[in-house]
Amino acid sequence: MASSVFPSEKLGLNDPSPSLSQPHKTSYLSAISPLTGLFGRFSEWRNSLDLPNPGTVENLQKEVKLTHLTNFMFDGARADLTKGLSVNPAFQISHSFTLGSQVATPSYNFGAVYATSNLLLQGSVDHEGNVNARMNQGWSETCITKMQAQLSHQAGHSMLQLEQDYQGRDYSLNAKAVNPSPTDLTGIYIGSYFQSVTKNLALGFETLHQRQTPEMTELATSYLAKYTSTDRNWIATAQLQPSGILQTTYWQKLSEKVDVAADLQVIAAPQRRDAIATLGAKYDLRMATFRAQLDSTGKVSALLEQRFAPSFAFLVSGEIDHFKNAAKVGVGVMIESSTLTPEEMGMPPQI
Amino acid sequence: MPSDETKERIVKVVELGRTLVHYGWIPMIIYIGYTRSTPQPMFIKLISPLA
């Protein structure tokens, strides 16, 4: 299979500008042909294994995070008004209000999203003038550049993150730079590599290089593993950080509508030994989503997202901390409106 | 290694860029979205939560 593709592959790999160095190409190639032959056979063998892409390191625990309600929990009251102004390209404006939370002050947030098939622009600003900016540019199916920034009037609260993501046939590569300074190259640099080893198992590592000052640098590598079942119905992951934190997760799709997830975090650092286990379930019903969660710190929480109409959803959340004897309750509404008629949104006309 | 003068200039340019993005990011998205939307929405609907 690969023999027909092989010569062109050789040229592209070893010679960055084949058209310029045409005359001495043959001698140059013949000198290293054992190497390219070896590489060719290696990539042929690698293709023949037909391993799937393992997904990105960032999305290692995505299924668990979507099932657990840690990221969805809120208290007090909130209202989200989203307005779709265009479908293709997608353009949306949102206003969100939060009030009466025990941990956060009342706030107002204005957001705007513009998205085409390969460009995403997102921005939000709160009432204090802090801006969140995000931009994703896809160069091809497998190659994405991401930019993320937090801009604040307070000194030292601003953050910039640049990211380059590449997804190969059976591996994922990612490089990140957080607050890179062009003058003395301080900042945090993160690189990760994730490789499928068998059809089910993927192994990888993530290296964090921290340069607070040019003299003070720190290097830390964490190791990752992910096991996906053959029918993709359950996923187990593990992540070991050098500071002594081990995080293992398990996610299973019990049926079309029910997902369950478990998460165990073990901290075995010299100054602190601790473990937290979290169990959660998510029910996806026709007009509602219900999440329930129980963890070993004594917290029981639940969140119901009920859709009364396609454009109107009502949220109720609650959490009881049995060990601290504390409780949190939250209610929210989500209203989506559109300036477009159903025909303009591409829906079939209702008769 | 760049000289101190160049460093100072780079820091100034970065600071200016930061300020520009801080004030210009949301207006830029709204402008791009407003001009490229099909059909073009009314401007009041962009800004007001009630309209």
Q: Over its length of 351 residues, how does chain A's per-residue pLDDT go in tens digits?
A: 333 444 444 444 444 444 444 445 556 667 777 888 888 888 888 888 888 888 899 889 999 999 998 889 999 999 999 988 888 889 999 999 999 888 888 999 999 999 999 999 999 999 999 999 999 999 998 999 999 999 998 877 889 999 999 998 899 999 999 998 888 888 999 999 999 999 999 999 999 999 888 888 889 999 999 999 998 899 999 999 988 899 999 999 999 999 999 999 999 988 889 999 999 999 999 899 999 999 999 999 999 999 998 889 999 999 999 999 999 999 999 998 876 666 666 555 554
Half-sphere exposure of A278 (CA within 13 A, CB side): 22
Hey, is the C-beta of B46 within 8 angstroms of any chain A C-beta? yes
Peptide bond into A89 cis (omega under 30): yes
User: Which of A85, A112, A149 is facing B41, going by the closest CB pair?
Assistant: A85
Q: What phi and psi values does residue A165 have, to the nearest 5 degrees?
A: -120, 130
Q: Verify whether the Cβ–Cβ distance B38 to A86 is below 8 Å.
A: yes
Q: Verify whether the Cβ–Cβ distance A123 to B49 is below 8 Å.
A: no
Chosen from B29, B32, B35 to mutate, greatest number of chain A CBs within 10 A: B29
- For chain A, the domains span 240-340
Beta carbons within 8 Å of B9's beta carbon, 6+ residues apart: none
pTM of the model: 0.78
Q: Indicate the burial class of A166 (C-beta count within 10 angstroms; 0-12, 13-18, 19 or more).
A: middle
Chosen from B1, B10, B21 to mutate, greatest number of chain A CBs within 10 A: B21
- For chain B, the domains span 4-47
State the maximum Cα–Cα separation within chain B, in Å, rounded to a whole number: 56
